[in-house]
Structure 1
């Protein structure tokens, strides 16, 4: 067995996979990240350091699929990619397609990565830091906990939307900082970035919570659909997250009949009976 470590870098994995293919190393003989290894290739076999004689022709479309799927965190993260690469390099392109068992898992992972990128765009909440003249601190910070390694690529979304403002997104693993001109990515998020993003106070939070609670419509609540669009794992990092369980509870205990949030229904005024259009 050949045990490899690519440090979760697609570029490193690609070089390793190219070497393996050139020596016609079957996927069943390779594992990534299964154990701690002292060097790049941990095996009792005598392996050449140079590339082997086999030259594979790989379609560009496959490389794009593999790079996207490489952002997926899960079991067999890198081994599955090599198995797909092996089959395609030997003439079996069905490994790229959803109709194939292996291709289906590849496509599922790509969809999960794409969905997680959408979650970043939808659920990041930037908070403005107090303005300090001459400071090089970001003007806006955010904390996010993605399930997959999408921060670097997906955060490009905000470059064109935040103008030349300086902003930062910190996660438990990595972080990005936009200085007004370029986007900088740190694969190991600095502790000071994490502390800054997690400990900042939002001066507008009370206003936002008031708006959110007043616009909540229990008559239209479907918890399963809501969970599909707004997974509960994000609630703890959203300002409105602490309101959601209570609002759901109110809806389930009768407020769906009123079609109003509790505090709105309690306000004085004439009740308008429902009719048919």
Structure 2
């Protein structure tokens, strides 16, 4: 068994995989070990990769490399093994390995779908906190805990939308810093970045929570849809996250008949009862009387 060690990056895996293909090593002959992976009890010492071409390098479709690079973001123990198995099969002329109907291709496309969804979660559920005006470093900071390694590829979304504002996103594994012109990626995430992101000094958070709670519409609460579109694992890192269980509890206790937040319902004025309210996904600022 050949033990293939590399730096844990897709670029490092690609270079090692290319050398192994040239040597004619089949997938069952290779044990992949990226940086940070723990070796097994009976693992052999790392085997040197022969970088001298033993044969002409196979031609690999550019489309396949793009798919493999995206799938490499999926965190699972055999992520590199599956990628090499697909690469090997395509290099041998079996292009069915890239297709969803194939046993390996099916796993590949499931992982691609999960990675795309996790990138969407980053864009949808990340909350930036502004820092004090005269503080050194980034103007905005955010902490996020993604299920897959999507930060490096998905964080450019914010550079396109926040202009020249400087910002920082830290995770338990890696981090990105936008200095207004260029994106800096660090893995592992520097402890100072993690400290800044986890202890924001946001003076406007109380105002945001008051707004969020007052615009909550219990008549439109649909718990199953809410938890599908906003997974519970993200709540702890959202400023409004601690409010959600309380607001849901109030809705179940009878607030749904008011069609508005409890604090608003106590105010004077005309009382409107929603007898035929259709449960919709949770929406803090939705207008229940707006034509749909």
Same-fold call, TM cutoff 0.5: yes
The answer for the alignment partner of 2:266 in structure 1 is 266
Do structure 1's residue 85 and structure 2's residue 87 form an aligned pair?
A: yes
Work out whether residues 24 and 54 of structure 1, in 8 Å CA contact, stay in contact via their aligned partners in 2. Answer: no
Instruction: Note the 1:37-76 alignment, pairs <5 A.
Output: 42-43=46-47, 48-76=50-78
The answer for the alignment partner of 2:132 in structure 1 is 130
Work out whether residues 4 and 41 of structure 1, in 8 Å CA contact, stay in contact via their aligned partners in 2. Answer: no
SS, match of residue 55 in structure 1: coil
The answer for the alignment partner of 1:254 in structure 2 is 254
The answer for the alignment partner of 2:199 in structure 1 is 199
Instruction: Note the 1:135-174 alignment, pairs <5 A.
Output: 136-174=136-174
Deviation digits for residues 2-22 of structure 1 (CA, Å, limit 9, x no counterpart): 222333200000011111111
Separation (CA, whole Å) in 1 of partners of 2:49 and 2:77: 26
Separation (CA, whole Å) in 1 of partners of 2:112 and 2:27: 21
**TM-score of the aligned structures, taking structure 1 as reference length:** 0.91
Structure 1: gaps of 5 or more residues: none
Deviation digits for residues 58-112 of structure 1 (CA, Å, limit 9, x no counterpart): 1111000000001111120110100111111111111111111211110111111
The answer for the alignment partner of 1:9 in structure 2 is 9
C-alpha spacing 1:208/1:35, structure 2 compared with 1 (3 Å): closer
Deviation digits for residues 114-155 of structure 1 (CA, Å, limit 9, x no counterpart): 1111111111111111122xx641111111111111111111
Deviation digits for residues 169-189 of structure 1 (CA, Å, limit 9, x no counterpart): 111111111111111111111
TM-superposed deviation, 1:226: 1.0
C-alpha spacing 1:273/1:177, structure 2 compared with 1 (3 Å): closer
Separation (CA, whole Å) in 1 of partners of 2:80 and 2:21: 14
C-alpha RMSD over aligned residues: 2.2
Structure 2: gaps of 5 or more residues: 277-290
**TM-score of the aligned structures, taking structure 2 as reference length:** 0.86
SS, match of residue 160 in structure 1: helix
Separation (CA, whole Å) in 2 of partners of 1:150 and 1:57: 28
The answer for the alignment partner of 1:94 in structure 2 is 96
